[in-house]
Amino acid sequence: MENSNTLKSGEFLVRETEAKDIFIPEEFDEEQKMIAQTCNDFIQAEVYPNLEQVEKSDRELMKIILKKSGELGLLGISIPEEFGGFGQSFVTQMLVAETIGAGYSFSVSFMAHCGIGTLPIMYYGNQDQRERYVPKLATGEFLGAYCLTEPGAGSDANSGKTNAKLSEDGKHYILNGQKMWITNAGFADTLIVFAKIDNDRVLSAFIVETVYPGVVIGPDEHKMGIKGSSTAQIYFNDVKVPVENLLGKRGEGFRIALSILHMGRLKLGANVIGAAKKAINDSVRYANERKQFGVLISTFGAIKHKLAEQVIRLFASESAVYRVSKDIDLLISELSAGSDHGRAAIEGISHYAVEAAILKVIGSEMLDFIVDEAVQIHGGMGYSAEMAVERGYRDSRINRIFEGTNEINRLLVVDTAMKRALKGDFDLYGEAERLCAGLADITDGKTEGESYFQTRTRYIRNFKKAILICMHFATKNFGKGLINEQEVLNNIAEMMMETYVSESLALRVEKLSTIRGNVSVYKDMLDVNLFETAGIVRSSALEAIASFSSPETYPVLVQAIEKLTRQEYVNVKEARRHIADKLIEDNSYKF
């Protein structure tokens, strides 16, 4: 990325982006809209009518529905045409992930197959492996699963005990071990299995077919939500895996696992948008039907507040999802010149590790908020299994655990950005040093005659300064011990995540203002979002400062943070009502 103008991962902290340079969902072309419509039609026709039966752990029915989606080509969206797929851009892959996200537990099985079940072979496999497996996975002839987690190895994936030893004739690896929480386990044909060869310190990866003798699939787990997806333990008892099924190089498994997790986090960030739009539609339609005290509950200010907050959080999260997706497409295009497309794709995707972790946390918590409020808007009916929001509430909870817990991902947001800066990707520490040298003279930077968007850009610039101040003093105070100060890292992560999403939203609204005439409702979203982000940045910064400052430095730091989180007057109540009124009038999410 030496000569690239594309934003590097984490570089948003020290570099501003112009609205014209980002991609927004309003720019989807006709082909992308058509693909999304096909996905939506499939969910309406094949998924919703079968949800109740699928939720009874009907493995065979889920398998049939997945194969039907394969017949339509939906499983091959990200697969190059030479391997039987459609070779679509990363932006389009994310749009498919979003649309399928409205499919409850089907979306979990679908995403596991298309992503972690297929793409490790597409990205890391050699030509022979790709030719043998990818076309079958792209059409649904084979269904895939991914086997990383073990009973004693969850967040610390590299501590797994599953082992592989080369057979005496050198033709097979003999695989022994146990994997758990494996999505699609009940009907998968191929497994990506991570194991250590002999006494290796790091993992290797293997393609294992479930028909190999010694592969034993356990019964489905009983789960809180996503009941329709098959989740089971898999046991490997002296399984003979052909040596040609080693995926990548020996010892490369941990790198493969991490790269695929980055991809999974990004796709989850898109997937939850579809689920959130479904929950918002259920919320507003119920609010527009339910009467209390002789009037529709959608006329109540408290309900309008809930509906508006649902919309704002979704719209902001969506803005961040498609902003980084386009950055990934640009980087993949750069890296593809003169190199293997599969490797270029996964390098481009996994480069954006900071943003992947942000989207995962922000998205999963956005959806949890939205489905929780959806149940609340439904009142007692929301607690009834008759209503879709009850299923949405249960299904949402896993997203904060999937693809690395949100606790792990929060730490990754800060740690990865700081490591990238130390590598020289961008000048984080120099910027922070310069800023903190003039701490006592810091101002909010307001200038005369600012336009609407210039003022909002200044707010975001100031949030970034608050982050740099906290990073600088935390590093100075704790040194290498900062890695153990998880509470402080969480404070900084919170500031970083909210700032990235707010900036993405601001850029989207600014770009939208050049495409459409009246964007007043979108400005309302931006104003409420920035008002809330300022509060989060302020409280997170003050909490962090209290953890590392002295009685002498505390007042100076607090004063700086107060200046950097100061905002102009905005009537957030009226702004929220404006947003809610549009939603209520449309009776569905049309933003």
Q: What is the DSSP string of 83-119?
A: GTS----HHHHHHHHHHHGGGTHHHHHHHHHHTTTTH
Per DSSP, the three-state class of 211 is coil
| Residues 209 and 197: beta-carbon distance below 8 Å | no
Give Cβ neighbours of residue 551 (< 8 Å, ≥ 6 apart).
none
Cα gap 328→76, rounded to integer Å:
19
Q: What is the DSSP string of 23-62?
A: --GGG--HHHHHHHHHHHHHIIIIIGGGHHHHTTT-HHHH
Cα gap 482→478, rounded to integer Å:
5
Residue whose tokens read 């079958």? 136
Computed from CA positions of residues 287, 290, 293, 296, in that sequence, does the dihedral angle turn out positive or negative? positive
Alpha helices in 423-482 (DSSP H): 428-437, 452-478
318 counts as catalytic = no
φ, ψ of residue 168 in degrees (nearest 5)? -60, -35
Exposed, middle or buried by CB within 10 Å (0-12, 13-18, 19+), for 164? buried
Cα gap 576→569, rounded to integer Å:
15
Q: Which of 403, 498, 503, 510 is catalytic?
A: 403
Cα gap 195→192, rounded to integer Å:
10
Please state, as a whole number, how many other Cβ atoms lie within 10 Å of the Cβ of residue 564.
Answer: 24
- In the chain, the amino acid numbered 152 is G
φ, ψ of residue 474 in degrees (nearest 5)? -65, -45
Long-range contacts of 235-238 (CB under 8 A, 24+ apart): 235/177, 235/178, 236/162, 236/175, 236/176, 236/177, 236/178, 236/179, 236/193, 236/208, 237/176, 238/174, 238/175, 238/176, 238/214
- Total residue length of the chain: 591
Q: Which positions are annotated as active-site residues?
A: 403
